[in-house]
Amino acid sequence: MKKTDVVLGLQWGDEGKGKVVDVLTPGYKVIARFQGGPNAGHSLHFNGESYVLHTIPSGIFREGTVNIIGNGVVVDPVILSQEVDELEAAGANLTDCLKISKKAHLILPTHRILDAASEAAKGKAKIGSTLKGIGPAYMDKTGRNGLRVGDIISGEFIERYNRLKEKHLGILSQYDYRFDITQYEEQWFEGIEKIRRFEFIDSEHVVNKFIDDDISVLAEGAQGALLDVDFGTYPFVTSSNTLSAGACTGLGIAPSRLGEVYGIFKAYCTRVGSGPFPTELFDADGERLREVGREFGATTGRPRRCGWLDLVALKYTVMLNGITSLIMMKSDVLTGFDKVKVAVAYNTPHGATARFPYEVDENTEPVYMEMEGWSEDISKIRNYERLPESFRRYVEFIESECGVPIRIISVGPDREETIMR
């Protein structure tokens, strides 16, 4: 038996999961996405080319790898088929290397409209959703109304689609929201036809057989632990379990069959959409992180909110996920700051705490520790010992606070700009 390793984000998403999965893939035969959907945007850079994946696992560019869209994922056939077209236009042939779980749920055109109508109705209290229909699709899944990929090949697909659509139209009539789904619906059915050529699999059986046969599987998370529906900054979260536990339910792998859990974090913090962010910066430092780090959403293009690293939050998500190895991304972006800060506690109306509290809001003030910065260009360095001393002190402080080693350090977006320890 070969245990399955997991890669996931420890902050509010966009930590660099796409890059890390691409870097780790040569060590695996199978890469499987376990939750989320096209709200994700995972970027990869290599050989001077850039790609953004939304539904397809980030192992797709490494030859011989099997890529599985797991049961925990929600699939929009329009976006998936566009992704396939783009990759195939660039020379790939995905027919044999991409498999889709029959139990993955479908995002209907009306799910997208419901998402938009719900956000519009919330006004200022909106979540800042990517508006891909994620929340409504997961609501239908847990409400036991959903349509699944396996239903595409059942005889009653159109009838079931229409029944669910009618239900959605009934709900939408309660909103003051105008829409027209004709065009998207047309594309949706075209997308359904296009994805039929992929094998729809009983992914839980397939994945467990791989595990039995000593074939290495890497589970790829989407979003980040602070967007988890249970433990994130609710209600400003996504609608799935983004934690390592989500890899169990999103692929049908028992906890005892998980191995290494890699937790990815940026050397600072970012967030897109609404919701609390204690270390957010509204000054020139924040602007600099956004500019140097090119912090604009890979899915929506929205500017990301930026701030210092938050160890209160990081320690919380290390705990929730049972992280065994940390991976620090975008270290190069901090180069040139005289001082770098990390939050080690919060001052709250209920007193100071180093433990991530139930209520995190505008009254949650970070307590910072200030550390010496570094000015050397670190993006060409590949050996940990060659890194500036103050940078290594930063790394080692985070390790000692989290109690977990940082095994990979990323110093640039490219595959090659990576330091293995």
For 249, what's the count of Cα atoms within 13 Å in the CB-facing half-sphere?
10
- Shortest approach of ligand IMO to residue 122 CB, angstroms? 12
Interatomic CA distance for residues 344 and 99, integer angstroms = 43
- Choices 68-76, 136-144, 235-243, 329-337 (CB under 6 A): range interacting with ligand GDP: 329-337
Q: Which residues contact 411 (CB under 8 A, 6 or more apart)?
A: 331, 332, 378, 379, 380, 381, 417, 418, 419
Supply the DSSP string of 84-153, one letter for each residue. HHHHHHTT---TTTEEEETTPEEPPHHHHHHHHHHHHHHGGG------SSHHHHHHHHHTT---BGGGGG
Interatomic CA distance for residues 335 and 79, integer angstroms = 37
Is 14 among the residues that bind ligand GDP (CB under 6 A)? yes
Q: Is 167 helix (H, G, I), strand (E, B) or coil?
A: helix
Is 238 among the residues that bind ligand IMO (CB under 6 A)? yes
- Shortest approach of ligand GDP to residue 38 CB, angstroms? 12
Is 413 among the residues that bind Mg ion (CB under 5 A)? no
CA 383 vs. chain centroid, Å, equals 28
Please say which residue, 14 or 295, places its beta carbon nearer to Mg ion.
14
Q: Mask: binding to ligand IMO, 282-311, rule CB under 6 A, as x and -?
A: ----------------x-------------
Long-range contacts of 166-170 (CB under 8 A, 24+ apart): 168/108, 168/110, 168/111, 168/113, 168/114, 168/136, 169/110
DSSP letter assigned to residue 27 = G
Is 131 among the residues that bind Mg ion (CB under 5 A)? no
Interatomic CA distance for residues 370 and 381, integer angstroms = 25
Q: Which of 4, 25, 35, 43 binds ligand GDP (CB under 6 A)?
A: 43
- Shortest approach of ligand GDP to residue 412 CB, angstroms? 5
Q: Mask: binding to Mg ion, 8-47, rule CB under 5 A, as x and -?
A: ------x--------------------------x------
Is 99 among the residues that bind ligand GDP (CB under 6 A)? no
Interatomic CA distance for residues 188 and 77, integer angstroms = 6
* Residues from 35 through 94 that contact ligand IMO (CB under 6 A): 36, 39-42
Interatomic CA distance for residues 348 and 230, integer angstroms = 22
Cα distances (Å, whole numbers) of residue 384 to 88, 388, 411 = 38, 9, 11
Please say which residue, 17 or 315, places its beta carbon nearer to ligand IMO.
17
Is 298 among the residues that bind Mg ion (CB under 5 A)? yes
* Residues from 242 through 261 that contact ligand IMO (CB under 6 A): none
Please say which residue, 14 or 140, places its beta carbon nearer to ligand GDP.
14
Cα distances (Å, whole numbers) of residue 200 to 9, 25, 211 = 27, 23, 19
- Give the residue numbers marked as catalytic: 14, 42
The structure tokens listed for 277 are 């962010």
Q: Which of 6, 11, 16, 226 binds ligand GDP (CB under 6 A)?
A: 16
Please say which residue, 211 or 326, places its beta carbon nearer to ligand IMO.
326
* Residues from 129 through 188 that contact ligand GDP (CB under 6 A): none
- Shortest approach of ligand GDP to residue 16 CB, angstroms? 4
Please say which residue, 208 or 223, places its beta carbon nearer to ligand IMO.
223
Q: Is 419 helix (H, G, I), strand (E, B) or coil?
A: strand
Q: Which of 333, 342, 408, 419 binds ligand GDP (CB under 6 A)?
A: 333
Please say which residue, 19 or 148, places its beta carbon nearer to ligand GDP.
19
Q: Which residues contact 185 (CB under 8 A, 6 or more apart)?
A: 109
Q: Measuring CA to CA, which residue among 406, 415, 383 is closest to residue 20?
A: 415
Q: Which of 102, 132, 290, 341 binds ligand IMO (CB under 6 A)?
A: 132
Q: Exposure of 359 by Cβ count < 10 A (0-12 exposed, 13-18 middle, 19+ buried)?
A: exposed
- Choices 12-20, 78-86, 126-134, 232-240 (CB under 6 A): range interacting with ligand GDP: 12-20
Q: Which of 6, 30, 33, 42 binds ligand GDP (CB under 6 A)?
A: 42
> Residue 332: which of Mg ion, ligand GDP, ligand IMO, none does it interact with, CB under 5 to 8 A by kind?
ligand GDP
Interatomic CA distance for residues 298 and 278, integer angstroms = 23
Q: Which residues make up the interface to ligand IMO (CB under 6 A)?
A: 9, 12-14, 36, 39-42, 127-130, 132, 134-135, 222-224, 227, 238, 272-273, 298
Q: Which residues bind ligand GDP (CB under 6 A)?
A: 9, 13-19, 40-43, 45, 293-294, 298, 329-330, 332-333, 410-413
> Using CB under 5 A as the criterion, which residues of the chain lie in contact with Mg ion when the complex forms?
14, 41, 298
